[in-house]
Amino acid sequence: MKKYLLLWFVFFILTLPGYSQGARSIVLGKKLVNPQSFSGTITISNILSKRLETSFQKACAVQANCGSNIMASTYGPSKRIKGPFVIRPQAIYPNANFLTHSGQLSDYFLTNNNRAVEKFYPRMQLRQEQIQQHLADFEAATIPVSHPEKEDMHWLASRIPTDTNYLLIGEAHRFPEIRQAVSTLLHEIRQRFPEKQIFLFSEFLMEGEVWTEQDAFELYLKQFREVWNTAQKENIPAIGLEPLFVKDKDANVHIIHKTGKKTLGVASSHKHNIWASLEGMKLRNTRWMEVIKTYRENYPDALFIIYAGSWHVEYALPYSLTEYLPAKETFVATLFPNCHPYHRTCSTITSTFDQLTDGKFPQRVLQFRDPALSRLAGMDVQIKVSVFPHEY
């Protein structure tokens, strides 16, 4: 009897308003709950767990209906995070005050990710079909190029319209030759616009960082030092975009997602860093845009160069930065290797557009006359950079 009385007393104390530390009750799943109370925490966890399971089943069904999809190798349904999260939930979701611990954060994150899979898989499937239907149009609209490879960045700078306010440079990661090309492009852009105020925003610097030469030994990603040095030389301030939570304790947390395929009868899955997931991309790109918008308010006439991974900036991809920017002021250039140097066949299918067209456009430099086709393809200009085997 004493045992039951003690349990009742503990439960009563934990659910008192004073124990909630001033937190207000909220409506979640048609239930009024106090996130900071013992019973409220249990209720919220149960609701989030059910939502995760439902979203997972729906996303798996959509994935199965869509069949082969370019998104499958990177994005897929999931209900498991290998980690777990360490960061405070409100550092990622400032308005989600009902999240009180890492388990709830994981379920909430994965539910949002599954809902994004359900939303974007059909859209990407439709885009693939549209591209395949317009292959002849792409071929007819391809602009012929005859300049030598060493002039690619000079040529690219010359193709940027003078009324461009946002130049988005999307790269394939890990290739020093591409970083060298970006460095050269910055020089060429300064030659093209000698008097214009220019800023360089990048995924490869942390949010709030403004590159100076004194930062040389404290870089988040040291391999980009040449790019920042060139930007500084050309009087182009380099501004960080990447939120701190990407670098901090949760940097090695991974999402385990279903590919929709089977190997020897067993459903296969992939492991990716959570910040490369659909929900991770959304959270990061949203934060990036907050930084960019703040600078735009202070520098309304400047050219903003945004340098990041290609899937952050290509047209028509989920949560692309192009969704947030004025179409008439935006120009997208993507840089990919001319081959995969460590692939067993040294495959030349290296870009998103290559995958969507089965490599039918192998040109080193690719641009289309029709802006509508460019948006469908994902970029205004695509350039393949010659790469060689090297240590990553």
- If the chain, 392 residues long, is cut into consecutive pieces of 10 residues, what is the mean pLDDT of each piece? 47 40 60 70 90 96 84 85 85 91 94 96 94 98 97 98 98 95 98 97 91 61 88 96 79 79 71 91 97 97 98 96 97 95 77 95 97 97 89 48
pLDDT at 42: 87
Structure tokens at 237: 């301030």
Give the DSSP per-residue string, 22-75. TPPPEEETTEEE-TTSHHHHHHHHHHHHHHHHHHHHHHHHHHHHH-S-TTTTT-
The span from the CA of 286 to the CA of 127, in Å, is 23
pLDDT at 269: 80
pTM: 0.88
Strands 330-337 and 238-242: unpaired
The span from the CA of 42 to the CA of 120, in Å, is 32
pLDDT at 30: 64
